[in-house]
Structure 1
Amino acid sequence: MATTLTGQQIADAGLAGWVHLSDGLRTRVPTGGFAAGLALVDAIGAAAEQADHHPDIDLRWGHVDVRLWSHDADGVTQRDVELAGTVSRLAGEAGLVPDGSGLQSVELALDAPDAGAVLPFWEAFLGYERRAGAPDEVRDPAGAHPPVWFQASGSDEPRQRWHLDVWVDPGQVRGRIDAAVAAGGRVVDDSQAPSFWVLADADGNRSCLCTWQDRQADG
């Protein structure tokens, strides 16, 4: 099994235009049209077959999104870093520039005093499945929709039912916080930064901005 890389190891690889989020190593390549995007997808597909390592690709009219994740290691590995370099090279040869700065991944979290009592319901209701080594979450088998995880909370403490975990590139955090505060929100807790910041809207509903930084285990 391949070894999962830490967030810092991924950052040290210096992949321009790529971001490391909760669901993998990702980029977006603006193409300006469908034909250019399709040609890039064909080139990436051929390279992926040669490497025997296959990315998730989303082709749209004006861009191509690429996500890299080693399923056997349940994380980002050196294979992903190498294939990211190949994708960047192929994009460059086509006169295109990868830019992941606008990408984010979203997770849904349910505060629950007894996660074990409600997790099976959401697994069945959503048609999700459990992932080995992650007993507190359920995931879409196709990877098309956000995962749901269950955060332990005291039965008597004030809590909200749902909150969002929004993963962004570290370079995007300050602008996102400033915009949220300007829109009437506030930073509730930054004691865990740069791992995550807790923000709230004017009614006190809380959500977290998350990055890969300062985490004991990535994934």
Structure 2
Amino acid sequence: MSEPISPRSFHEAEGVEDWRVLFSGACAHFRTETFTASVALAAAIGRLADAAGRHPNVDLRPSAVTVCLPPEGFGRQRAGDVALARQISAAARELNVPAEPSAVQAVQISIDALAIETVMPFWRAVLGYEQVGDEDLLDPQSRGPAVWFQQMDAPRPQRNRIHIDISVPHDQAEARIAAAIAAGGRLVSDRNAPAGWLLADPEGNEIDVATWMGRE
């Protein structure tokens, strides 16, 4: 297997303009007009993926198909993903299915814990999720958001310990943040920008808006 590539290397490759790297990997969203068109595109993706020996996650809906090439470890893609992404985009064009890059996103729930090994079993049991590594729980049906456990060094009173993370296309983050602030939110911190911004709603509930930038 070839060496994994960074999100930046993926985005700088030619022919991947339809794709954006998120937590869930390199993803593309194709807007269809009929369920038949969605099925046809999903079938084409299946043939290309089998030929490449790479099995993406495909979400098929009556009006759209979203496909994600899962990351190869944190913040990395397989080098071969560039070629497969190009082929999938070409298949969509042949079917007259346009890409909508701004529509992709990935949501996860983040839980800050002093003793992750004590807290995680509860969430694994109540959600029916599977543990992956030391910090993550994933829905075995790939329907619900991932749950990530972040190590705390000390108790943190008077502040949320559960928040939402949303991974959005790097070229959509500032518009999403502006819309959230216009809707009554506030910027808590931009010290990690352009990799991430921390926002809060009017009652202080927090969300991290994240992009691949900074995960070179």
* TM-score (normalizing by structure 1): 0.89
- Once residues 60 and 192 of structure 2 are traced to their aligned partners in structure 1, the CA distance between those partners, rounded to angstroms, is 36
- Give 3-state SS (helix, strand or coil) of 1:20's partner: strand
**Which shifted more, 75-84 or 104-113?**
75-84
Specify the alignment match of 1:137 in structure 2: 136
- Once residues 140 and 13 of structure 2 are traced to their aligned partners in structure 1, the CA distance between those partners, rounded to angstroms, is 30
Deviation at 1:186, TM superposition (A): 0.8
The answer to whether the 8 Å contact 1:70/1:80 transfers is no
Unaligned runs of 5+ in 2: none
The answer to whether the 8 Å contact 1:111/1:159 transfers is no
State whether structure 2 residue 110 is matched by structure 1 residue 109. Answer: yes
Q: CA RMSD in A?
A: 1.8
The answer to whether the 8 Å contact 1:41/1:59 transfers is yes
The answer to whether the 8 Å contact 1:165/1:210 transfers is yes
Specify the alignment match of 2:6 in structure 1: 6
The answer to whether the 8 Å contact 2:32/2:97 transfers is yes
Specify the alignment match of 1:163 in structure 2: 163
- Give 3-state SS (helix, strand or coil) of 1:170's partner: coil
Deviation at 1:54, TM superposition (A): 2.0
State whether structure 2 residue 201 is matched by structure 1 residue 201. Answer: yes
- Once residues 5 and 158 of structure 2 are traced to their aligned partners in structure 1, the CA distance between those partners, rounded to angstroms, is 37
Unaligned runs of 5+ in 1: none
Specify the alignment match of 1:188 in structure 2: 188
Deviation at 1:163, TM superposition (A): 0.4
**Which shifted more, 148-157 or 20-29?**
148-157
- Once residues 91 and 103 of structure 1 are traced to their aligned partners in structure 2, the CA distance between those partners, rounded to angstroms, is 16
Q: Per-residue displacement from partner, 1:47-105 (whole Å, max 9, x unpaired)? A: 2222222222222111111111266x675212222111100011111222222211110
* TM-score (normalizing by structure 2): 0.91
The answer to whether the 8 Å contact 2:27/2:68 transfers is yes
Specify the alignment match of 2:38 in structure 1: 37
- Give 3-state SS (helix, strand or coil) of 2:172's partner: helix
- Identity over aligned residues, as a percent? 37
- Once residues 140 and 4 of structure 2 are traced to their aligned partners in structure 1, the CA distance between those partners, rounded to angstroms, is 21
The answer to whether the 8 Å contact 2:24/2:71 transfers is no
2:203 aligned partner, one-letter code: D
- Give 3-state SS (helix, strand or coil) of 2:49's partner: helix
State whether structure 2 residue 151 is matched by structure 1 residue 152. Answer: yes
- Once residues 20 and 156 of structure 2 are traced to their aligned partners in structure 1, the CA distance between those partners, rounded to angstroms, is 39
Deviation at 1:36, TM superposition (A): 1.6
- Once residues 77 and 45 of structure 1 are traced to their aligned partners in structure 2, the CA distance between those partners, rounded to angstroms, is 18
Deviation at 1:178, TM superposition (A): 0.7
- Once residues 34 and 20 of structure 1 are traced to their aligned partners in structure 2, the CA distance between those partners, rounded to angstroms, is 26
Q: Per-residue displacement from partner, 1:159-208 (whole Å, max 9, x unpaired)? A: 21310000001111111111111111111100110111000111111110
The answer to whether the 8 Å contact 2:26/2:71 transfers is no
